Amino acid sequence: MTISFTQIDHLYINGERVAPQAGTEAVINPATELVIGEAPVASRTQVDTAIAAAREAFDNGPWPRMAMDERAAIMDRMVDALVARQEDIIALIVAEVGCAQGITRMMQVMNPINHLRSTIKYARREEESERLPLDITPNIFAPDGPKNIGGTTVVREPFGVVSAITGYNFPFLLNLAKIGPALMAGCTMVLKPSPFTPYSALLFGEIAEEIGLPEGVLNIVTGGIEEGQLLCTDERVDMVTFTGSEAVGATIMAQAAPTLKKVHLELGGKSAMIVREDADVQRAAAMAVGFLSVNAGQGCAIPTRLLVHNSIRPAFVATATAIAAQIKVGDPADPSVGMGPLIRESQRAKVEHYIALGKSAGASLVCGGGRPAGVDKGFFTEFTLFDNVTNDMKIAQDEIFGPVGCIIGFDSDEDAVRIANDSRYGLNGAIETTDAAKGYEMALQIRAGSVSLNGGTGTMSFAPIGGYKRSGIGREYGPHWLREYQQEKSVFYPVGR
């Protein structure tokens, strides 16, 4: 079967399809280990050319100077083009990422398109300038004379040239989460995806051509560490936005520092789900297992620390184990599969390393811990739960990025909040309780960018998402999303002359 977009053999630079100077690299299906395509690889010279194109388009092109409604009309066409290709994009994600079909349809494809819709909607409401109250001040040159009256207008302008570097786990979502607000704000962009999932970015070259995006506004390149470093260090770039690991985020921040670029980082997490003594054990266990199985645990916001009141912990462990046993692991080309593979063998080796650390630290393995029986191809691992975990263990402190849950007991609400906050991360959290008021009070005490109370997921299209501490800098989504990609300028003027 031919998978749409895997035939793309070119980069997209300055509005043109460009043959790669560094050859091609095989992209494999992580469930089958079969090659789905040979993706183009950009050279450092081509990344340099893409930066130059974005710089020229920002400094001298029409895009930053368009009215917001003009940009919105073009981005509306992007929504229509993506919706028309929705089924093809779903098939691509299943093959390129190895994500189960239900999760792919909703979280990997439909939600991101809704995010773009919300970005356009908010942008149309956004006031590009704001008048502050008039100010009456003495005339410093004639203190005894008439006073001055002055006004101030605050103008929001696009930040400039943006480098966007994205991860492999939700590639279409991550790419669109960069493209949407940056372009709506009037910025120009060079996008570099993960080498594991390049087609989810390269497809936007076809979309840009179809909707009539001006040349140089969106450039799509690929490549490795050297090409990524150029995007973070080049003085022609004004801002770097990155979604990925904490370690890479810190490296990007260091690379951007000499040229004082703005950095926008959505990084890792080790989120805690608190299950209070009064919680519905069946529901809480189903929620925990459901979260952990999403994309085989390859999600930064997934609650992987399960903080369970000791009075109900045995029942929770038994229930969660029974629910986990029902998850079908396998090739997500089969619509009945609930959990697909990890992205590559290197990621599976990392997960297995942490499982071994959990065992050696004294945690109790209650389910999983190995590879699914009878599966000879693909980078699969079992859904894994540990009980009797203490929060100082490596498996409770480090982001594993796999379907590995750590059950940690607690005896009081204060203890639960303390454990939840005892992490270098602060991206997400969850609370299960029948006392919604108490749950809300606890949510306010958790040092994280978002908290889900009793299964409430919010509407990501409308709510800001981001991290505290080492989980990142800045926010994505929400009513002020565009402002991450805008500068504020104050213009002072006299009134009456």
User: Annotated active-site positions, please?
Assistant: 266, 300
Strand 129-137 and strand 16-18: the pairing is unpaired
Report the chain's terminal Cα–Cα distance, integer Å.
Answer: 72
Burial of 462 (0-12, 13-18, 19+ CB in 10 A): middle
Residue 278 token pair: 């009064």
Query: 5 is written with which tokens?
Result: 């977009």
Give dist(CA 208, CA 32) in Å, integer: 32
- Element (H or E) spanning 141, and its range? none
Backbone angles phi, psi at 356, to 5 degrees: -65, -40
Cβ proximity of 126 and 68 under 8 Å: yes
CB 13 within 8 A of CB 41: no
Q: Strands, E, within 8-159: which ranges?
A: 11-13, 16-18, 24-28, 35-40, 129-137, 148-158
Question: CA separation (Å) from 471 to 281, 295, 452, 482, 483?
Answer: 29, 20, 17, 20, 20
| Whole-number Å distance between alpha carbons of 280 and 277 | 9
Distance CA(38)–CA(31), nearest Å, equals 17
In angstroms, the Cα distances linking 343 to 96, 166, 217, 225, 346 are 9, 15, 31, 19, 8
Answer whether 367's CB lies under 8 Å from 325's CB. Answer: yes
Q: What is the dihedral of CA 406, 408, 414, 420, to 10 degrees?
A: -20
For residue 264, give every residue at least 6 positions away whose Cβ sits within 8 Å of its Cβ, in sequence order, or none. 239, 240, 241, 242, 473, 474, 484
Asked if residues 36 and 15 have their Cβ atoms less than 8 Å apart, the reply is: no
Nearest residue to 346 (alpha-carbon basis) of 25, 3, 28: 28
**Location of structure tokens 């065992």:** 359
H and E: helices and strands count for the chain: 15, 24
